[in-house]
Amino acid sequence: MNPVNYLYLAALLFTIGATGVLIRRNAIVLFMCIELMLNACNLAFVTFSRMHGNLDGQIIAFFTMVVAAAEVVVGLAIIVSLFRSRHSASVDDASLMKL
Amino acid sequence: MTPLATLAAPSTLAAYSTSTGEAVQFWILGTVAVIGALCTVFMRRAVHSALSLAGTMIVLAVFYLANGAYFLGIVQVVVYTGAIMMLFLFVVMLVGVTAADSLKETVKGQRWLALLCGVGFGVLLLGGIGNASLTEFDGLGEANAGGNVQGLASLIFTKYVFAFEITGALLITAAVGAMVLTHRERTERALTQRELSEQRVREGKHLPPLPAPGVYARHNAVDIAGLLPDGTPSELTVNRTLRERGQIRDVSREAIGDLKALEQRSEERLERTRSGEGTQ
């Protein structure tokens, strides 16, 4: 087996995550799909790191993890405050600016 | 290109295939990862989605370890499945476990269009990777020679030191932002007990304390409404939180014989104590 297969898997996971973002309307599940996409990117980075024989890819994956952690903290705080004001976590309900 | 990469470039180090064990591991765990990802997207309840995603992340951690990223594999387990997924579960519990997604489409045909877009995107992505000539790979033997963690550390604290510092600032900003977003400022003073009692008297609604829950000694759990003289359950006797959640247990329809047996037994006991008093 060639490590390219890891890249195929990463592409598949990214596609599933992107489809989930388009389909689902629960804000928490949307966030989970975004996490899935970030993880797929990380897998691709780690695989590239192995294919090229240097550690830069792993460093980028490490930074991606840190940024994902920060993003999740802020995103979930937004979801909690949205839920407090509207009693719903559906992204369709936040339509105050709609005509 | 780093010096490490130029060292590892000669074709003597390049390999064309991994071990059979890794291939077996990839095909088994890869299937699990894809199934987990699909469950994340298509499960109706958010809790099930979160658990599926946690499974996928653990599988990815194993793949990192297999790819020679030992530090990242451990960090993936600790940070992603340990911290981030628990944060997700915490928010799911806060927002309501039972809240399932509505299946009603707001934009007509959006679901099928989204699926079509997803499939098209996936085909483009996979086709792009398939077209690239990636037959040989270098492997991390050279780069990991002095230890994976040491190699990462020497890169982070030399080449990527500014990115690392900025990451620290980002984390602090995120922590403060989360606190600001979820903090609720109290706009008015909290009422004291005396003010609350005076307000109750002024409104004249319900002066005495609320009645206690429970019907008989056997059924005085807090989730059971006390029965009014006509046999209907009194909503007032149950805690407001339980009432709003609809978690009231109604015993008014429980078998009459049950209650009868209870009464009979208590009567027997009373008789006995009475006769015991009589003998004294």
Give per-residue pLDDT as tens, B101-155: 666 677 788 889 999 999 999 999 999 988 887 777 777 877 788 888 999 999 9
What pLDDT is attached to residue B227?
73
Question: Quick one: average pLDDT of A41-48?
Answer: 94
Task: Please state, in angstroms and rounded to a whole number, the distance separating the CA atoms of residues B57 and B33.
Answer: 8
Residue A79 in tokens = 């979801």
Higher local confidence (pLDDT), A91 or A77: A77
What pLDDT is attached to residue B7?
43
Please indicate whether, in this complex, the C-beta atoms of A76 and B178 are within 8 angstroms of each other: yes
What pLDDT is attached to residue B268?
80
Please indicate whether, in this complex, the C-beta atoms of A72 and B4 are within 8 angstroms of each other: no
Please indicate whether, in this complex, the C-beta atoms of A17 and B178 are within 8 angstroms of each other: no
In CATH, the architecture of B17-99 is Up-down Bundle (1.20)
What's the length of chain B? Answer: 280
Residue of A33, A35, A62, A45 lying closest to B63 (CA atoms): A45
What pLDDT is attached to residue B100?
59
Which part of chain B has CATH 1.20.120.1200? 17-99
CA-to-CA dists, residue A42 to A60, B126, B137, B247, angstroms? 8, 17, 18, 44
Task: For residue A2, give every residue at least 6 positions away whose Cβ sits within 8 Å of its Cβ, in sequence order, or none.
Answer: B16, B17, B18, B134, B135, B137
Residue A4 in tokens = 């390219």
What pLDDT is attached to residue B219?
61
What pLDDT is attached to residue B255?
63
| Nearest CB partner across the interface for A73, out of B122, B160, B174 | B174
User: Would you call A26 helix, strand, or coil by DSSP?
Assistant: strand
Residue A30 in contact with partner chain B when CB distance is under 8 A:
no
- Give chain A's mean pLDDT: 89
| Nearest CB partner across the interface for B125, out of A5, A6, A11 | A11
Please indicate whether, in this complex, the C-beta atoms of A58 and B72 are within 8 angstroms of each other: yes
Residue of A80, A11, A17, A29 lying closest to B51 (CA atoms): A29
What pLDDT is attached to residue B11?
42
pTM for this model (two decimals):
0.74
| Nearest CB partner across the interface for B63, out of A6, A12, A33 | A6
Residue B63 in contact with partner chain A when CB distance is under 8 A:
yes
Residue A86 in contact with partner chain B when CB distance is under 8 A:
no
For residue A49, how many C-alpha atoms fall within 13 Å in the half-sphere facing its CB? Answer: 30
Residue of chain B nearest A12, judged by CA positions: B122
- Asked if residue B252 lies in contact with residue B227, where contact means CB atoms within 8 angstroms, the answer is yes
Please indicate whether, in this complex, the C-beta atoms of A1 and B121 are within 8 angstroms of each other: no
Please indicate whether, in this complex, the C-beta atoms of A2 and B46 are within 8 angstroms of each other: no
Chain center to CA of A7: 17
| Nearest CB partner across the interface for A8, out of B80, B121, B126 | B126
What's the length of chain A? Answer: 99
What pLDDT is attached to residue B279?
47
What pLDDT is attached to residue B248?
72
CA-to-CA dists, residue B78 to A69, B84, B85, angstroms? 12, 9, 10
Residue A44 in contact with partner chain B when CB distance is under 8 A:
no
B121 min Cα distance to partner chain A (Å): 7
Q: Which residues of chain B have pLDDT under 70?
A: 1-14, 96-104, 214-220, 231, 250-257, 259, 272-280
